[in-house]
Amino acid sequence: MDATVNTGVVAAERLQSFVERYEKLQEEKDALSADQKELMAEAKGAGFDTKVIKTVIRDRKLGTGECAERDALIEVYKHALGMFVDTPLGQSALRRL
Amino acid sequence: MDATVNTGVVAAERLQSFVERYEKLQEEKDALSADQKELMAEAKGAGFDTKVIKTVIRDRKLGTGECAERDALIEVYKHALGMFVDTPLGQSALRRL
Amino acid sequence: MDATVNTGVVAAERLQSFVERYEKLQEEKDALSADQKELMAEAKGAGFDTKVIKTVIRDRKLGTGECAERDALIEVYKHALGMFVDTPLGQSALRRL
Amino acid sequence: MDATVNTGVVAAERLQSFVERYEKLQEEKDALSADQKELMAEAKGAGFDTKVIKTVIRDRKLGTGECAERDALIEVYKHALGMFVDTPLGQSALRRL
DNA sequence: CACGGCAAAAGCATTC
DNA sequence: GAATGCTTTTGCCGTG
């Protein structure tokens, strides 16, 4: 019996498992996307401007991420401060912090 | 009592509901995306070429028919550019022009 | 003489023209990217922290777009103000403006 | 007179130079991207399938050799998944396993 | 109902 | 080789 064939079969089974699990997860994601779309349609039906809603959602998301981003900026600029505090570029950077 | 205020409050409550439900769905999607990423890492660890896996999954989603159709057009264009691939598929696609 | 063949030839020539022009533009872009990379290497050689430079550049880009984005937000929220000014959601939105 | 300040000023000037040169290059890249977009719009207007054109361009960049190699692996994986394509390419690729 | 613009997602390269 | 960020692609929505 050829061991290579067995190896190939086993590999094929694992591959199939990976692919199917991935596709399953994708299906669930698609279903959730459909739910979101439906939700927006519902909101529109209730008289809301969906653009406003989308904007609010984006705004909230940015708001949550803003802190981390801001902290990263501060960290980076702190490294540069010794060099640039006495320059227009450095001043404007400082003003933003 | 001002009826407009009540209307506004009710509308805002509905809006808030929409926004929160949407964000909840988004969180679930993000979690599934993380699962997919993890899955691909696992596949990579098992020695598979994840890029190829992704391609195969895409092709499966496209469907065999559309895939062939798309490939035929690609062959036609390549032929036009002098990239003579000389496959039966390319030849028959060319004939269709 | 077969008119279809002529048509095909002409189409092929146009296609080739499009493809080559596109690739030419791409080459120029790649050259510019190489210049950018070189520039960063030079900066690094001059003792600068390239991460800082990249951050500054990103920051400046965001800064320029910020105004337009902010204006768009205001525009959107103004439409919603009549509805939501008397709610926490509306209040927080207002505070951001 | 404080030498550190001078050093800082000089450093800042160099930094500013780097940043501005980088941004200039970026602008040029953006302009070229716009040209590409325009070009594809033109191609679309001429009746071409721009998505296919993009694919062909990508394949050309990849090079014929790598392209065939990649395709062979894809066929192998598809075979393992039961998508029996039964092409010579796929068969020979399979044999290599 | 096709088109173009815009925002989200994916793929890719580069960095450490 | 993991992880960040940039480029490209894809899907979506409003508009003519």
pLDDT in tens, D50-75: 999 999 999 999 887 788 888 899 99
Residue D86, min C-alpha distance to chain A (Å):
17
> Mean pLDDT, to the nearest integer, of A54-81?
83
The two tokens of residue A59 are 């705004």
Alpha helices in B46-96 (DSSP H): 50-62, 64-80, 88-96
Whole-number average pLDDT of chain A:
84
Residue D11 and residue A84: Cβ atoms within 8 Å? yes
Give the least confident one: B16-20, B26-30, C1-5, C35-39.
Answer: C1-5
Q: What percent of chain C has pLDDT over 90?
A: 42
Q: Which residue of B has its CA nearest to D73?
A: B52
Q: Which nucleotide is nearest to C37 if distance is taken from CA to C1'?
A: E14
pLDDT in tens, A33-57: 999 999 999 999 998 899 989 988 9
Give residue C5's pLDDT band: very low, low, confident or very high (50, 70, 90): confident
Whole-number average pLDDT of chain B:
84
> Mean pLDDT, to the nearest integer, of B75-87?
81
Give residue B91's pLDDT band: very low, low, confident or very high (50, 70, 90): low
The residue type found at D91 is: Q
CB A63 within 8 A of CB C29: no
Q: Is the pLDDT of residue C4 over 80?
A: no
pLDDT in tens, A77-88: 888 776 666 677
Q: Which residues of C touch B (CB under 8 A)?
A: 4, 8, 11-12, 15-16, 19, 82-87, 89-90
Q: How many helices (H) and strands (E) does chain D have?
A: 4, 0
Distance CA D49, CA D72 (A): 26
Nearest beta carbon to residue C19 from set D11, D25, D56: D56
Q: Which residues have C-beta within 8 Å of that of residue D85, sequence separation ≥ 6? A: D75, D78, D79
- Chains touching A, CB cut-off 8 Å, 3+ pairs: B, C, D
Nearest beta carbon to residue A87 from set D9, D77, D97: D9
> Mean pLDDT, to the nearest integer, of B20-38?
94
Q: Identify the pLDDT of residue D86.
A: 59
Judge residue A5's burial from the number of C-beta atoms within 10 Å of its C-beta, 0-12 exposed, 13-18 middle, 19 or more buried.
exposed
pLDDT in tens, D78-95: 999 986 555 655 565 555
Q: Is the pLDDT of residue A2 over 70?
A: no
